[in-house]
Amino acid sequence: MKFSLCNEVIADRPFDEQCVFAAELGYDGLEIAPFTLGDDPRTLNDADVSRVAQSLAAAGIVATGLHWLLVKPEGLSITSNDANIRRETLEIMCCNVELCAELGGRVLVHGSPLQRAIDSAGNADAARERAIEIFSKVATASENSGVTYCIEPLHSGETNFVNRVDEAVEIVEEIGSVAFKTMIDTSAAGLSDRQSVPDLIRTWMPTGHIAHIQFNDRNRRAPGQGEDVFTPVLSALKETGYDDVIAMEPFIYEPGRDACAAYALGYVRGIWEALQ
């Protein structure tokens, strides 16, 4: 198993220092939010990407993937009925696919709840079809780049489009690409899904539709900083043969960013090692 830290947790420091700090804590890599590198991924030139890659290599860690894909620039949407907005959004998504591949990452996590929300006054079926069309094109781009693009089920309090793993699987099967899958975020799944997180893993991991895991408590803090118990989750991952990357993605940094990052890894790695 490899452990990654979502880099916005420690994005209060320059990227090269993020890499060094994550490596010193014992992380294997960073899951990078493109908005932490700049306001628009299209403006990142070869030299910019090279500096990011060099910072990772110098610290001895890797980019495991990308997430928070559509935060910047503002105004993006995969469901909008405005063709120009969808065109720009697709351009950004494909740019992120290329960035992930260039950095050696393997997976992109499509959360971005506001940028996929369906307008309550619009036609939900038509909005879903617009999203499917975009995802299909991104799946092709991902196949060509050798990465996997994942639609992330999110809590209904964040978005009204794709809240459960089974809903995401419907889209995955409809698109039918080896490069387009879904994933499990333990906080979102714990809040929205019908099954427990361990049962979700046992149900869906054997299907091959799950390509990634993110850990956080339902209270939005780091794993181990709330009421959620992660031993059954890690046991389910072990039972189903998942041995790829677990990314730590807290949203509330208490008692501070550094301590939160350190606690998450220590807690999860301790459980994982005890299960071996």
Which residues are within 8 A (CB) of 37 and not within 5 positions of it... i.e. 6 or more apart? 15, 44, 48, 52
- Residues 235 and 199: their CA atoms lie apart, in Å, by 11
- Residues 76 and 166: their CA atoms lie apart, in Å, by 25
- Residues 206 and 92: their CA atoms lie apart, in Å, by 32
Q: What value, to the nearest 5°, has the Cα angle with vertex 159 and ends 153 and 160?
A: 90
What is the pTM for the complete model shown? 0.97
Q: pLDDT, tens digit, for every residue of 162-211?
A: 999 999 999 999 999 999 999 999 999 999 999 999 999 999 999 999 99
Which residues are within 8 A (CB) of 121 and not within 5 positions of it... i.e. 6 or more apart? none
- Residues 142 and 91: their CA atoms lie apart, in Å, by 13
The gap from C-alpha 19 to its chain's centroid, in whole angstroms, comes to 18
Q: pLDDT, tens digit, for every residue of 226-274?
A: 999 999 999 999 999 999 999 999 999 999 999 999 999 999 999 999 9
Amino acid 39: pLDDT: 96
* Strand ranges (E), 60-125: 62-66, 107-110
At 250, give phi and psi (nearest 5°).
Answer: -75, 155
Does the CA dihedral 195-276-27-141 come out positive or negative? negative
At 139, which amino acid appears? Answer: A
Q: Can you list the pairs that 10-17 forms with residues at least 24 positions away whose Cβ atoms lie under 8 Å?
A: 10/257, 10/258, 10/261, 11/36, 12/257, 15/51, 15/52, 15/55, 16/55, 16/58, 16/59
Which residues are within 8 A (CB) of 182 and not within 5 positions of it... i.e. 6 or more apart? 150, 151, 152, 153, 165, 168, 169, 171, 172, 204, 209, 210, 211
Amino acid 130: pLDDT: 98
Q: Can you list the pairs that 86-89 forms with residues at least 24 positions away whose Cβ atoms lie under 8 Å?
A: 86/130, 86/134, 89/115, 89/134
Tokens of 82: 């405005």
Q: pLDDT, tens digit, for every residue of 91-133?
A: 999 999 999 999 999 999 999 999 999 998 789 999 999 999 9
Whole-angstrom CA distances from 66 to 153, 233, 234, 255 are 16, 23, 23, 26
Q: Helices then strands (H, E): number in the chain?
A: 9, 8
Rg (CA), the chain: 18
The answer regarding whether domain 2-210 maps to CATH 1.20.140.10 reads: no
Question: 250: buried, middle or exposed (CB in 10 Å: 19+, 13-18, 0-12)?
Answer: buried
Amino acid 121: pLDDT: 79
Amino acid 122: pLDDT: 82
Which residues are within 8 A (CB) of 24 and not within 5 positions of it... i.e. 6 or more apart? none
The gap from C-alpha 84 to its chain's centroid, in whole angstroms, comes to 26
Q: pLDDT, tens digit, for every residue of 61-92?
A: 999 999 999 999 999 999 999 999 999 999 99
Amino acid 120: pLDDT: 82
CB 140 within 8 A of CB 176: no
